[in-house]
Amino acid sequence: MISRRELQATSKDAKPGVVQTHSKYPFRLNFYDRPPVEEITIEQFETAALDRLRVLAEIESCFARNRTFEEMGKVIVGIWDKYLPLHSSTAHLERLEEERRKDHIGHFVLRLAFCRSEDLRRRFVKAETTLFKLRYQSDDHNEREKFLKSRDFDWVVASPEEIQDLITPTSYDPASKSSTYYKVKWTRVPDLVEKRKVVLKGGMAYVPAAEQASIVYQEFQRHLEKDLEATAKALPRLDEDTRLIPILDNLSKGFQAGISSEWAGKTEGQEGLTADMIDEMAYKHYPACMRNLHMALRRDKHLKHFGRLQYGLFLKVLGLSIDEALAFWRKAFSTMQDDKFNKEYRYNIRHSYGLEGKRANYAAMSCQQILMSHEPGSGDSHGCPYRHFSADNLQSALLTMYSDHGLTSQDMPEIMHMVKQKHYHVACTRVFEITHAHQGVKKGEGVGGGESVTHPNQYAARSRELEKKENGDGDVVMQG
């Protein structure tokens, strides 16, 4: 861990013209040239990565929902304020160094997790470059200028005579004429060449000042692609570290599922929730995975192991006490003898409440866990319908579950398109919006502030919150 003394020492060595206050991280923007070298606890390692993953996963969701860059900006600002705040130096915050350090660590941990396959690398680079762009555009102007000066972007400012020679009224749109142009190799700005926003001559692209950011974004992307490949080559050496590998595996699974691994928000479970209230709760507030389990339980009067696990932990977080849970399951398995229930099921229910065995407080399963683990076989009801049902079954199941809540067959092409693209939780989020439109939820709003569904309990909690608001019952406490 770097000490305050070391920080001060670095500060004395800082070059003139560079912001002095935060010498280790003088700028909010970062090209992540060097990995963190100080000591990092496992907890910091994991938290920094998980919080960053939440932001990157939401960026991917925005792409899946075809949000414009401006719309994406609004959604992502809300998310990064929550999980990955990063202020400009002008904010003069004490925690500035800490924020930038977390940003730095999180980036490098995710590099380790996502360098492992071509597909993960491509997606990671796209999401990280978008995050960089959003930050670049929201950065303090002076700080950004200093950041640009602090790096060598290998561009040359073209002389006015040079420009005069290049631009003729026919060859270039006069509206985009600029007093400053940056000269770079044309291969460095393929996007600008494609959009005909640069003048080309002798293999060089003359980039107007208004498009300068494109050079920076391209450079960021190129830099990251190269570094990820180098990390992938170095990774086998890390495989011996038994502490880190499970964390990295979990992170990359989260990204493969398109969502971060956990839902950070916590709701107070509903007070006084009883077994008798569950049918109504399921009808009004459940996402498709839990609704499917509930319907299967009522139909078969039984659920197999993983179904009981997925549903039981969800009910616990929903607020069902252990006594009510025992009553609920006992009644639900109505064709079973008391003796068999007590011998084979009671223990497991108490176990999931941390009252037996190693007395662990098991968390309810997140979308990522449901999507990525324990593929359901025939006769199983667990899993995520968006992922595990056939297209026909999914459509008819969704209409059965939600047509009373405003979902119609006209909504299906949009939902099925998302499913086909494997954006299962985005499809679930869209269903949430449609089925809560009567409570004022608009398209793109997700489960609040544009956030996508990442946890079944988050879905149910937000649904209950909306109902309470509608009934004027005051707010359900939502933290995180």
Segment interacting with ligand SF4 (CB under 6 A) among 102-110, 236-244, 339-347, 422-430: 422-430
Task: Residue 322: name the closest of 269, 400, 243, 375 by CA.
Answer: 269
Residues 458-477 that bind ligand SF4 (CB under 6 A): 459
Other CB atoms within a 10 A radius of the CB of residue 174 amount to 8
Q: At what angle do helices 391-402 and 288-300 cross, to 10 degrees?
A: 90
The DSSP H or E segment spanning 480 is none
Cβ pair 447, 456 in contact under 8 A? no
Q: Which is nearer to ligand SF4, 116 or 253 (CB)?
A: 253
What is the smallest separation between the CB atom of 83 and ligand SF4, expressed in angstroms?
A: 19
Residue 376 interacting with ligand SF4 (CB under 6 A): no
Residue 25 interacting with ligand SF4 (CB under 6 A): no
Which member of 101, 107, 425, 436 binds ligand SF4 (CB under 6 A)?
425
Q: Which is nearer to ligand SF4, 188 or 387 (CB)?
A: 387
Cβ pair 303, 293 in contact under 8 A? yes
What is the smallest separation between the CB atom of 384 and ligand SF4, expressed in angstroms?
A: 3
62 among the known binding-site residues? no
What is the smallest separation between the CB atom of 381 and ligand SF4, expressed in angstroms?
A: 12
Residues 388-417 that bind ligand SF4 (CB under 6 A): none
Cβ pair 345, 403 in contact under 8 A? no
Residues 6+ apart with CB under 8 A from 340: none
Q: Which is nearer to ligand SF4, 184 or 370 (CB)?
A: 370
Label the pairing between strands 204-208 and 478-479: unpaired
| Phi and psi, residue 57, nearest 5° | -65, -35
Residues 266-325 that bind ligand SF4 (CB under 6 A): 287-289
Query: Reduced to 3 states, what is the DSSP secondary structure of residue 157?
Result: strand
Cβ pair 86, 267 in contact under 8 A? no
Residue 370 interacting with ligand SF4 (CB under 6 A): yes
# residues contacting ligand SF4 (CB under 6 A): 14
Q: Which is nearer to ligand SF4, 55 or 453 (CB)?
A: 453
The neighbouring-strand residues paired with 208 are 181
Rounded CA separation 214/320 (Å): 53
289 among the known binding-site residues? yes
Q: Summarize the annotated binding site for [4Fe-4S] cluster as residue ranges.
A: 289, 367, 384, 428
Q: Summarize the annotated binding site as residue ranges.
A: 289, 367, 384, 428
Where along the sequence are the contacts to ligand SF4 (CB under 6 A)? 287-289, 367, 370, 384-386, 424-425, 428, 453, 456, 459
